[in-house]
Chains A and B, each alone.
Chain A
Amino acid sequence: MIDDIDDTNAFVERIAKTLRTDEHADSSFRTTVMTAVQNLARTEGVADQPRLSPSGGTRLAERRMPRWWKRSYWIRITPLSGFAVAASALIVAVGLFMLSGYSLASGRRPQEVAVRRETVHDSVRDTVHIVRFVFVDSSARSVSLVGEFNQWQKDATALRAGTRPGVWTVDVPLTGGRHEYAYIVRDAQGEHWIADPIAETRLDDFGTESSVISVGIPTT
């Protein structure tokens, strides 16, 4: 027994010794990083100003809580499901549009509004799912989506304004699994990081709240 442990330790040490071979950054590494940093400083300002966190959001203390009329919906569609699913998704989308229009027009608070999330599941985890994100905010000037799927780049995935005022949508292809995301909303007061008020949320290492969407995973 003791011999086995000694043997294992010796084996691991031999491997680890090889893996401890030094590695060094390329000579261009610092220049590459600082070029990116300088560009960032020019476009977003220096680091003491309110800014996006490593995961893309403003720090928790700087973030406003979502206002009650900001809501979002998402709809998931798999290509495998064909026309039937597409038709279903269309019906759901129309339903959600009507739902959002009714709630806005009637001034009902969101607690009184049944928020629907329609999900089409597929057992194939590698299937690409088209997920429609719908965000409702009549005061927004622009809305974009950030997440792991676009490396948290705030201008990579813009939502489009729909025909109904304040309704913003975008379709995003996602693989099966859990994806973190949030909305960047720009209005007269500035730019705001908004975690989806209807989705599961999590805090990252820097205290920024993001939302989580499970794609292709049956929910209970």
Chain B
Amino acid sequence: MAPRLDADLIADVLGGHVDAYGVLVKRYQDAYVRFAVRMLGNRDDADDALQSAFVRGFRALASCKDPNRFSAWLYQIVINECRTLVARRARRERRFVRDEDELHARPAPAEPGTVGDLEEIQRALDHLDAEQREAFVLKHVEELSYEEMAALTGANVSALKMRVKRACDRLRQLLDPARSYS
């Protein structure tokens, strides 16, 4: 049997069949995990953001104007949820590897591309400004076009390109300081 369309499932939910939302959750639960983990730097916060995003998605389902584009609509909610969590956390904690010395005092990273250096690269990513990190992850990790990024984030293409460039420069400073200043 062919999988049911998102729009049909949404119609079911809006008609009172709440369980149909579970099919949507199952369909998209893995789609945004990587984005959330890269944005928030750890799995626990990513799970919180995603759970909250799916619940908010349910609460707002009636305002999803184009049910055939549910995944893009949900992606926007996930992005907003991650932004909120980043902002809240920045105010609350102010503890996350803020000191350049602390970052550089850590063991030198392995050659990028090996499994062992994911943690090191993630730490450098956490060091970026939130907007730059978001733009870098959408562009180079999720591999979206600038037009898709603009539609999701509300920022214009030139601003996004600038954020990505600055993110790349900053990552280079953090992960490959000798080359970045040569």
Contact = CB atoms under 8 A, between A and B. Distances in A.
Interface of A: 7-8, 11-26, 29-30, 32-34, 36-38, 40-41, 44, 46-48, 51-54, 59, 126, 148, 151, 175, 177, 205-207
Interface string B110-137: 0111110110011001000000000001
B18 A41 contact: yes
Interface stretch (B33-41, B95-103, B155-163): B33-41
B22 to A, nearest CB: 5
Contacts of A7: 179
Given A15-B112, A18-B121, A53-B59, 15 more contacts: A11-B176, A12-B168, A14-B111, A15-B121, A15-B140, A16-B140, A21-B118, A23-B43, A25-B50, A30-B26, A37-B58, A46-B13, A52-B59, A151-B52, A177-B91
A15 B139 CA distance: 12
Contact of B59 (A14, A47, A148): A47
B15 A48 contact: yes
Contacts of B14: 46-48
8 contacts: A11-B179, A12-B168, A15-B175, A18-B114, A19-B125, A25-B29, A25-B47, A44-B59
Given A18-B113, A54-B57, A36 B51 contact: yes
If over half of B's interface residues share one DSSP class (helix, strand or loop), that class is named, otherwise mixed; here it is: helix
B25 A11 contact: no
Interface string B25-67: 1100110011001100001001100111011111111110000
Contacts of B25: 29-30, 33-34
A51 B112 contact: no
Contacts of A25: 29-30, 33, 47, 50
Contacts of B115: 18, 21
Interface of B: 13-16, 18-19, 21-22, 25-26, 29-30, 33-34, 37-38, 43, 46-47, 50-52, 54-63, 76-77, 80, 84, 88, 91, 94, 111-115, 117-118, 121-122, 125, 137, 140-141, 143, 154, 168, 171-172, 175-176, 179
A44 B18 CA distance: 12
Given A46-B13, A47-B59, A30 B118 contact: no
A21 B33 CA distance: 11
B59 A51 contact: yes
Contacts of A24: 30, 33
Contacts of A12: 140, 168, 171
Given A34-B21, A148-B84, A54 B112 contact: no
A38 B176 CA distance: 49
Contacts of B21: 34, 37
B33 A23 contact: yes
Contacts of A8: 168, 172
B84 A30 contact: no
A16 B143 CA distance: 9
B62 A47 contact: yes
Nearest to B175: A15
A205 B80 contact: yes
A29 B25 CA distance: 9
A144 to B, nearest CB: 17
Contact of B18 (A23, A46, A54, A59): A46
A56 to B, nearest CB: 9
Contact of A40 (B58, B76, B91, B179): B58
Contacts of B19: 34
